[in-house]
Amino acid sequence: MPEPRVWQLTAGSAVLGLALAAAAATAAGPWDGGQRTAERARAAAPARGGEHHPAPAAAPAAPRVTEPAPAPSAPGVLTAVSGPAAPGARPADLARTLVPLLGDPGLGTARTASVVDTATGRQLYGEGAGTPMTPASTVKIATAAAALSALGPDHRITTTVTAAPDGRTVTLTGGGDPTLDEARLKALAGDTARALEKRGRTAVRLAYDTGLYKGPALHPIGPNENLAPVTALMTRAGRLDGSAHGPAPRSGDPARDTATAFAALLADAGVKVTGAPAPGRTPQGAPLARTDSAPLAELVERTLTHSDNDLAEALARQTALAHGQPASFRGAEKAVRDELARLALPLNGARFADGSGLDRSDRVSALLLTTLLTRAADAAHPELRPLLTGLPVGGFTGTLAGRYGQAPAGAGLVRAKTGTLTGVNTLAGTVVTSDGRLLAFAFLAGKTPSPDLAQPALDRLSAALTGQN
């Protein structure tokens, strides 16, 4: 993923925010020209949420004290619009701005904060920044970072069909891709039928293999509209309606449903399937056919934009496989932590009980989140850039599409991952300041009275950063 994309987006977002302030922007504002491919393809669909309100590696290192190489920012663009850039804010000035906002009763009785200048790595403000808190969905930033670091942004997840040595049975094998959809499944059936025809086969039995994943398929929260059973084979994350993201009715057995649909598609392609699909093991040998997911960079962007729980759990398990760990909740937890430790991140007290943030046992600090975002802005880590490009745009896309009505200064300038559980509200992302600097921030609140009170308070906090100069 080429480095300039995120900074093109940053600059575009900055221009948009200034244009909005001057009442000159339209719905197709300049941010759209810098929007990354995955978001353009998906943000057009009406947002349906994505948040949830359910009743050997190196040892972790201390927070980084050295400064990364300065990353490109937006001053050049802003100078053309509003004149020369002003000097950066002093921590004392920022504290005077944030402390009253952090005192908002809507943020409950436990709150932590971290604000970092991404170009220097300098923490500009911290309040309990190193204290582990329940992150809710902001843990997806850590999940995505571990996957990108372990596998690279070009990694794809593969679903295959393999024939038995005698040719009488073919096995549909799940690789852990929850984005497999009906169109790709139909294409896979067509490719399989053509391969069988070349072998002179017109009838087969169908088996399906989900053995790549280990351990329980159900998340500890149990059956839930926010997450399908976590299995290596599924179509559209087991959704039973036409939705693409957000809560939805889910299949109790997505693998069997996918195999049943595949059998029907094989029949449509001229291959008779005898008997009902049954679980089985993949035979040795080269696959007859395969279908690949989008590159990992795009999967990460989709995960963050729409807070996709199913994709987040898939990313965690892909990280487990890369580390030689079982592809289970427990194996993924160890692999994610080990990969982040390899990056020398501040992991004191951190726990990654799941990849999605639905588990209240998850713990991360505001400092860990801002360090991850700062690392993603560092030119030395282009593999982590999708952490920034995948963040929803305040007031425009994903889980932030309907927010910033009470804090309009943040619209177009704040990009952030949201987090919501009952009594937990969090926000972590980046913001472009009035002098064109890119700041990383994380605000974690616990024991909050309601999302209706907490979310606007978080929006006001992040929006306040746009006025720093």
Domain range holding 433?
Answer: 4-153+297-467
Closest Cα to residue 10, out of 440, 444, 442, 381?
440
Note if 137 is an active site residue: yes
Give residue-wise pLDDT tens across range 37-78: 333 343 333 333 334 433 333 333 333 333 333 333 333 222
Residue among 137, 149, 251, 356 flagged as catalytic: 137
- Do 335 and 445 belong to one domain? yes
- Do 343 and 281 belong to one domain? no
Which of these three, 268, 293, 318, is where a domain ends? 293
pTM: 0.83
303: left (phi over 0), alpha (psi -120 to 50) or beta: alpha
Cα-based distances in Å from 337 to 25, 209, 326, 330, 352? 43, 28, 14, 11, 7
Number of neighbours of residue 96 by Cβ within 10 angstroms: 10
- Do 255 and 310 belong to one domain? no
Give residue-wise pLDDT tens across range 307-324: 999 999 999 999 999 999
Overall number of domains in the chain? 2
Residue among 13, 73, 114, 140 flagged as catalytic: 140
Residue 20 has pLDDT above 70, yes or no: no
**What is the pLDDT at residue 92?**
75
**Residue 16: which pLDDT band, with cuts at 50, 70 and 90?**
very low
Cα-based distances in Å from 310 to 295, 366, 420? 16, 24, 16
**Residue 337: which pLDDT band, with cuts at 50, 70 and 90?**
very high
Q: Which of 85-94, 175-184, 305-314, 434-443 has the lowest mean pLDDT?
A: 85-94
- Do 49 and 82 belong to one domain? yes
Note if 328 is an active site residue: no
Query: Strand 110-117 vs strand 438-446: parallel, antiparallel, or unpaired?
Result: antiparallel
Give residue-wise pLDDT tens across range 74-91: 332 222 222 233 345 567
**What is the pLDDT at residue 432?**
94
**What is the pLDDT at residue 266?**
98
- Do 10 and 104 belong to one domain? yes
- Do 178 and 283 belong to one domain? yes
- Do 220 and 268 belong to one domain? yes
Whole-number mean pLDDT of the chain? 85
Note if 140 is an active site residue: yes
| Cβ proximity of 359 and 220 under 8 Å | yes
**What is the pLDDT at residue 93?**
84
- Do 195 and 228 belong to one domain? yes
- Do 168 and 93 belong to one domain? no
- Do 142 and 175 belong to one domain? no
Cα-based distances in Å from 379 to 2, 392, 439? 10, 22, 15
Q: What does the alpha-carbon distance between residue 400 and residue 304 come to, in Å, rounded to a whole number?
A: 11
Which of these three, 274, 293, 312, is where a domain ends? 293
- Do 289 and 302 belong to one domain? no
**What is the pLDDT at residue 408?**
95
Residue among 73, 149, 251, 307 flagged as catalytic: 307
- Please enumerate in sequence order all residues whose Cβ is within 8 A of that of 22, keeping only pairs 6 or more positions apart, or say none: none
Which of these three, 293, 326, 351, is where a domain ends? 293
Number of neighbours of residue 344 by Cβ within 10 angstroms: 16
Handedness of CA 286, 290, 296, 297 (dihedral sign): positive
Closest Cα to residue 287, out of 174, 208, 177, 192?
192
105: left (phi over 0), alpha (psi -120 to 50) or beta: alpha
Q: Which residue has the tokens 């009170």?
A: 453
What CATH code is carried by the domain that includes residue 56? Answer: 3.40.710.10
- Do 439 and 364 belong to one domain? yes
Give residue-wise pLDDT tens across range 455-469: 999 999 999 999 865
Q: Pseudo-torsion of CA 118, 122, 127, 131, nearest 10°?
A: 80
